[in-house]
Amino acid sequence: MVDYIIVGSGLAGICFAETVLNAGKTILVIDSEGRSSSQVAGGMYNPVVLKRFTEVWKVREQLDLARPFFEGLELKLGVKLDHQLPLLRRLMSVEEQNNWFEASDKPNLSGYLSSQLVKNENPGVIAPFSFGEVLETGYVDTALLINRYRAYLAENEWYRCERFDYDALRFTDEEVVYKEIAARHIVFAEGFGMLDNPFFSGLPLDGTKGELLVVRIPDLKFEEILKAGVFLIPIGDDLYKVGATYDWNDKTDSITQKGKEELIDGLRSVVNLEFEVVDHIAGVRPTVKDRRPLVGSAVESDRIHILNGLGTRGVLLGPFLAQSLYRNIEFDEALDPHISIARYRSKKA
């Protein structure tokens, strides 16, 4: 018997697996190794919602958990994952500059928004009204994390590569049993694949397709994350991630010419240099109508759980949500109403 079966090895599954391993529990992770949305994500983290100049929900708690969490994974896996870089938001007018100054003066934002504008001194970037600098930002290399963590699980015989068969799951008051494996609990961290899950099919999960380019711009030499409609993330060797698109209708992970053109147009509005597209990837993000995660237990059994809906802020949310779910299961600590799936059950009552 193991303590936890975890279905899914994207960012949510990894965060929960690592949380319970650090607590001394045993696990088995099951995944078919289809492309996870985490593998095609920018992996960027940012404590401020820049469209509205508001603080991200519980961001201080999330940052304080995420940084040592990913540092521990770097030591365990022997790779660099967390790249702490300033984020520069391009400002497009004197009015936007004034809005920035006003926001940076707010007590809850002053620690994250610099009150000093950054003048653009890069001739390859179009930014006549300077930049606002966001602090405590960066990106996590989620694709590298997933590949290395799956290998780590496999080396320890904690990984099974297969499509999960819901019909093979049985449960009692004391345990769950999947095929020949008994466990105290099972956690579904399937991303968009949750739509096939009979225990959580009533939850309002939707999929938002995102496309991303990797481009080479030898003459740019820009070392910060740039947000200007599209985002531009430097990943070394003159390469940059450019993202991202949002398509609420297409639920495939196929790249499209439309998505590519949208990203190229966005890039050209920011950079006036020649560039080469070296990669083009797509994936479907698991999104929720109220833009909040899905965390909790199934109606059928308090041994069947879900961790999903991390959305575009998954790098920060993942460790926080994993810890919340673990403490809810093991110590009966109540889930925050903002993340608990109980919010949907109460609406139906």
pLDDT for 40-71, tens place per residue?
Answer: 678 999 999 998 899 999 999 999 999 999 99
Distance of CA 144 to the CA centre of its chain: 14
Q: Which of 21, 342, 312 is nearest to 156 (CA)?
A: 21
Neighbours of 302 (CB within 10 A): 15
pLDDT for the residue numbered 11:
95
d(CA 36, CA 278): 20
Cβ-proximal residues to 253 (8 Å cutoff; 6+ apart), any chain: 35, 40, 209, 282, 283, 284
Neighbours of 337 (CB within 10 A): 10
CATH topology of domain 205-288: D-Amino Acid Oxidase; Chain A, domain 2 (3.30.9)
d(CA 134, CA 85): 10
Neighbours of 135 (CB within 10 A): 14
CATH topology of domain 2-46+142-204+290-348: FAD/NAD(P)-binding domain (3.50.50)
Q: Which single residue is written with the structure tokens 């297969």?
A: 162
Helix (H) and strand (E) counts in the chain: 7, 20
Q: Is the pLDDT of residue 349 over 60?
A: no
**Torsion angles phi and psi, residue 140, rounded to 5:** -110, 135
Supply the pTM of this predicted model.
Answer: 0.94
Mean pLDDT, residues 217-228 taken together? 97
The 10s digit of each residue's pLDDT in 143-198 is 999 999 999 999 999 999 999 999 999 999 999 999 999 999 999 999 988 989 99
d(CA 348, CA 203): 11
d(CA 126, CA 120): 8
d(CA 299, CA 301): 6
Q: Which of 167, 166, 193, 168 is nearest to 181 (CA)?
A: 168
**What is the greatest pairwise CA distance in the chain?**
65
Assign 348 a pLDDT band (cuts: 50, 70, 90): very low
Distance of CA 78 to the CA centre of its chain: 21
Distance of CA 196 to the CA centre of its chain: 21
Q: Is the pLDDT of residue 346 over 70?
A: no
d(CA 214, CA 226): 14
What stretch of H or E contains 206? strand 205-216
The 10s digit of each residue's pLDDT in 102-147 is 999 999 999 999 999 999 999 999 999 999 999 999 999 999 999 9
The residues spanned by each domain of the chain are: 2-46+142-204+290-348, 86-136, 205-288
Q: What is the DSSP string of 221-272?
A: ---SEEEESEEEEEEETTEEEEE---BSS--S----HHHHHHHHHHHHTTB-
d(CA 131, CA 124): 14
The 10s digit of each residue's pLDDT in 157-172 is 999 999 999 999 999 9
Assign 347 a pLDDT band (cuts: 50, 70, 90): very low
Strand runs (DSSP E) across 24-77, as ranges? Answer: 27-31, 44-45, 48-49, 54-55
The DSSP bridge pattern shows strands 294-297 and 304-308 to be antiparallel
